Structure 1
Amino acid sequence: MKIFCTGASGYIGGSVAAHLVADGHRVTGLVRSPDKADAIRGRGITPLIGTLDDAATLAQAAREADAVVNAASADHKGAVDALLGALAGSGKPFIHTSGSSIVGTRSSGERSDAVFDEDTPFTPSPARTARVALNKQILAYRDNGCRPVIICPSLIYGSGLGVEPHSTQVPLLIELAKKRGNAAHAGPGANIWSNVHIDDLVTLYALAIDKARPGAFYFVENGENSMHEVCVAINRMLGFAREPSAMSMQEAAAVWGEGTAEDTMASNSRVRAKRARAELAWQAKARSLIAEIEQGCYRE
């Protein structure tokens, strides 16, 4: 197949694109600069220089492709409009990347027992209302003659194949631990995030392109950990003997910014990948988050 992928130099998009190339597909990837074009060309991806604001470029690339993977932004409505408009009536798959923070709950580092699968009703936080509305718009295109699918990962870990090799949370915690000489979490660190290895995530994109039904939505996870557990593993990996320390929310906001502190590092986001396993026979095989921190790509 000929596949167009946005975010082709990024952590998710670059990893997905490289996986699809390895499977024998011809992949064209959207990148923003000649340097990134050269980088993805070396991975067997044909670069297309542009941005998510280039509606005509996006639409033309979508029309020329057999499938589209949108992995550059979970929130860029203009890009979604351009891509889906070009695919309407074609029957082609459109795989959009969201994120499990849509069911996240701010908790200042406290634990929440709320767990969500694809059938669990929820009310998004104000920070994610627009994203949830965009997700609904995308899935409604199943009635417009194309095959929209949303993949909604939880915390992603592991070394990716894009120009940007890592995601957000774990590197932020490791960087802070190195600066302080001890890992630290926001509040008590009892808040829990489901998680998935990047190697397992990319296989779901390939499965979704092949056989996901129109309008399908998939959470993606293979376990969960509290931020305290993650910080304990970071300390072991770095050789720090103390227990992780607890930052106040004010301190965490000063380190990471209020939005990241409240909605990413101190929130809960607990999901179950019920439909991915049942509908697509997706199976996660990579090592766990704790094992990856202590034994894998995060070790110095």
Structure 2
Amino acid sequence: TGYIGGAVTSRLLAHPRTASFDITALVRSEDKAAKLRPLGVKTVIGSYSDIDQLENLASEADILFSTVDCDDLTAMQANLRGLKRRYEATGQRPILIHTVREFVDRDRAAEGAFLYQEPYTDVDIPKIESLPNDAWHRNVDLEVVKADADGYVKTYIIMPGAVWGIPTGRVADSGAQHMYSMLLPWLVQAAIKRSRGGFVGLGKNLWPHVEVNDTADLYIVLLDSIFSDPHAATSGREGYYIAENGEFDLYDIAKAIGVAAQGLGLIKDSEPTSFTDEELQAQPKLLFFGTHCHCRADRSRSIGWAPVKTTAGFFASVRPEVEAVAKASTAVAN
């Protein structure tokens, strides 16, 4: 029922082969479970921290979509143990489609500067493998790739840029799904708190973006490719699939947030400024917005993925995001 996972589930429910699917979702509450069951989704109430439960659920799955915490090595190891049990019981390699909610590479030293670099592409495996082992979530990625090499599971890693937009589909309509992105609300909240938009350093660092429904479509394109032509949908070491459809710099998004927030009467000045050292020390997560990433979804497009929402759409989505954050803040205050 998460932002990406709910959108993927909606597309599985709308898939031409959905009658042959037996879909089970791990959810955190009975409230969410009650909204999913009428859609034909079996539910298990729990969390990603219940390691035994994760392993047991994975041991019953032919296809496992992982769309939660990409940094949780312990949880992923539980998933892989379960998938290995599935292989040992059936003799067939199950499928793991894992989500890296962060970009393939973020230069942590960018500090808001533009760093020229050849773009990372999901077909340049040696360059991906050159990433340091201490890069964000890299330890989990390596565990996933190793499992494929060990021969008991076929693994695929989807790597979206900054995901934005409003999910569509039956899960969204049911009220069970989280409907807004994570990244933009962080910047909106910071802008409201400081009374103007903010960026790190010069704000010239770039990020790729991709709309949430376009992102979910990639999972289905990949799944269909696995079904129809597994040689085209490469796995394991060559199983990286980036999701992006353009890029933006962080000054421009801070400016767009400022204009929207000013228009809604939330702040007085639409012109953003650089976060101060004091602000960055008080809110370390803001340093994340000083990182730089430049990548291309060549492998994803080669299997037929065709995203439609552009950078213009991304910037048009800013005002609804600001309105949603303001509404949520008002509800909490009341």
- Kindly indicate whether residue 128 of structure 2 is the aligned counterpart of residue 105 of structure 1: no
Q: Please tell me the root mean square deviation across aligned C-alpha atoms, in Å.
A: 2.4
Cα–Cα, structure 1 residues 298 and 86, in superposed 2: closer, same or farther, change >3 Å?
A: same
- Kindly indicate whether residue 50 of structure 2 is the aligned counterpart of residue 54 of structure 1: yes
Match 1:246 to one of 262, 265, 274: 274
**Alignment partner of 1:53: what SS?**
coil
- Kindly indicate whether residue 142 of structure 2 is the aligned counterpart of residue 117 of structure 1: no
Give the corresponding residue for 2:257: 234
CA distance in 2, matches of 1:177, 1:35: 33
Please say if residues 169 and 265 of structure 1, whose CA atoms lie closer than 8 Å, have aligned partners that are also in contact.
Answer: no
Give the corresponding residue for 1:3: none
Residue by residue over 1:252-277, the C-alpha shift from the partner in whole angstroms, topping out at 9 and shown as x without a partner, is 342xx32x222x21111221111101
Give the corresponding residue for 2:327: none
Computing the radius of gyration from Cα coordinates, the structure with the larger value is 2
Match 2:305 to one of 266, 282, 291: 282
CA distance in 1, matches of 2:211, 2:199: 21
Greater displacement, 218-227 / 173-182? 173-182
Residue by residue over 1:194-219, the C-alpha shift from the partner in whole angstroms, topping out at 9 and shown as x without a partner, is 11111110011112223233211111
CA distance in 2, matches of 1:169, 1:232: 15
Gaps of 5+ in 2: 227-232, 325-334
**Alignment partner of 1:103: what SS?**
coil
Give the corresponding residue for 2:98: 96
Please say if residues 101 and 160 of structure 2, whose CA atoms lie closer than 8 Å, have aligned partners that are also in contact.
Answer: yes
Give the corresponding residue for 1:204: 218
Q: Shift in Å at residue 185 of structure 1?
A: 1.6
Q: Shift in Å at residue 190 of structure 1?
A: 1.1
Give the corresponding residue for 2:4: 12
Which has a greater percent of strand?
A: 1
Cα–Cα, structure 1 residues 108 and 39, in superposed 2: closer, same or farther, change >3 Å?
A: farther
Cα–Cα, structure 1 residues 164 and 282, in superposed 2: closer, same or farther, change >3 Å?
A: same
CA distance in 2, matches of 1:100, 1:200: 16
- Kindly indicate whether residue 154 of structure 2 is the aligned counterpart of residue 140 of structure 1: no
> How many correspondences in the alignment?
284
Please say if residues 195 and 269 of structure 2, whose CA atoms lie closer than 8 Å, have aligned partners that are also in contact.
Answer: no
Q: Shift in Å at residue 223 of structure 1?
A: 0.5
Greater displacement, 89-98 / 40-49? 40-49
Cα–Cα, structure 1 residues 137 and 234, in superposed 2: closer, same or farther, change >3 Å?
A: same
Please say if residues 93 and 209 of structure 1, whose CA atoms lie closer than 8 Å, have aligned partners that are also in contact.
Answer: no
CA distance in 1, matches of 2:184, 2:105: 20
Q: Shift in Å at residue 236 of structure 1?
A: 3.0
**Alignment partner of 1:105: what SS?**
coil
TM-score, length basis structure 2: 0.77
CA distance in 2, matches of 1:170, 1:42: 32
Please say if residues 214 and 309 of structure 2, whose CA atoms lie closer than 8 Å, have aligned partners that are also in contact.
Answer: yes
Please say if residues 102 and 125 of structure 1, whose CA atoms lie closer than 8 Å, have aligned partners that are also in contact.
Answer: no
Q: Shift in Å at residue 148 of structure 1?
A: 0.7
TM-score, length basis structure 1: 0.84
**Quick one: which amino acid aligns to residue 112 of structure 2?**
G
Gaps of 5+ in 1: 1-8
Please say if residues 184 and 321 of structure 2, whose CA atoms lie closer than 8 Å, have aligned partners that are also in contact.
Answer: no
**Quick one: which amino acid aligns to residue 273 of structure 1?**
A
